[in-house]
Copies of this chain bind each other. A is one copy, B any other.
Amino acid sequence: MLNENKWFTSITDIKPGKIRIRGYDIAELMGNRSFAEVIYLVLRGELPNSAEAKMFDAILASSVDHGVTPPSVLSTRTVTSGGNPLNAAVAAGILAIGDTHGGAIEQCARILQEWASKDGNISELAEKLLDEFIFNKKRLPGYGHRLHNVDPRTVRLFKIAEELDFSGRHIELAVAVQDRFAEVKGRKLPINVDGAIAAVTSDMGFDWRIGKGFFIISRISGLIAHYYEELIRERPMRKLGNPNWEYDGPKARKLK
């Protein structure tokens, strides 16, 4: 009777005394493969080769924290300040990681994967891609940053990719779009860290639909550090919000 809706999983097999991640014994992975390699395995189903492992390590290290201003940190600290446990505070931080905060990885990877799969050479594709965005007056996700003119994390990621001889059609396309933009508009719109992660993970073969996941995996330790700092340095219910607000709604009135 309860046979309805049997389902399958290919991630982890569990038996008493045995845990196998994608077929590998967890006890064998521990101590023999780095944390980043095991994350790669869980997400992709296979272990990375040496270049992929180094590249992935750098990607995950790139976004562990960016200070107190991002929405995710404000959200984590606010929930901490309301008197809540670590997991609730971290969950609230992750909830803030939406379309306009971290979401560019996902959207940029989607665009790169869509366009890089088309026939044609990269510079032609970059030209068409940019034309389309300019024509539709849309923002290019993964380009530009509200603080950094040149994002130091992008520079570093691309340098590591070059050293590892790790570059494919997606990185090339991302760079070609950046170059083409400068040509057409006469000003730079540099690839930000979201765009760089999108390009590199696309060359690694990751589906764009987990793009936001790389950012979340990376940032989670930063959120925990902010939870802890709020806990030990600040008093509960402190004024975390921008205090510069004003009420401009209906004037005081009476029920009829």
Q: List chain A positions with a Cβ less than 8 A from chain B.
A: 1-14, 16-36, 38-39, 42-43, 45, 47, 54, 57-58, 60-62, 64-69, 71-72, 74-75, 78-79, 81-92, 94-103, 106, 146-150, 152-153, 155-157, 159-160, 207, 209-210, 212-213, 216-218, 220-222, 224-229, 231, 233-234, 236-255
Contact A84 B87 (CB under 8 A): yes
8 Å CB contact of A8 from B8, B245, B250: B245
- The CA of A159 and the CA of B226, in the complex, are separated in Å by 32
Contact A87 B78 (CB under 8 A): no
Contact A5 B244 (CB under 8 A): yes
**Copies of the polypeptide in the assembly:** 4
Max count, chain B CB within 10 A of own CB: residue among A29, A58, A248: A58
- The CA of A233 and the CA of B10, in the complex, are separated in Å by 10
Max count, chain B CB within 10 A of own CB: residue among A72, A96, A227, A245: A96
Residues in chain B near residue A146, CB distance under 8 A: 237
Contact A248 B9 (CB under 8 A): yes
Contact B24 A255 (CB under 8 A): yes
Residues in chain B near residue A43, CB distance under 8 A: 221, 224-225, 228
Residues in chain B near residue A221, CB distance under 8 A: 38-39, 42-43, 213, 217
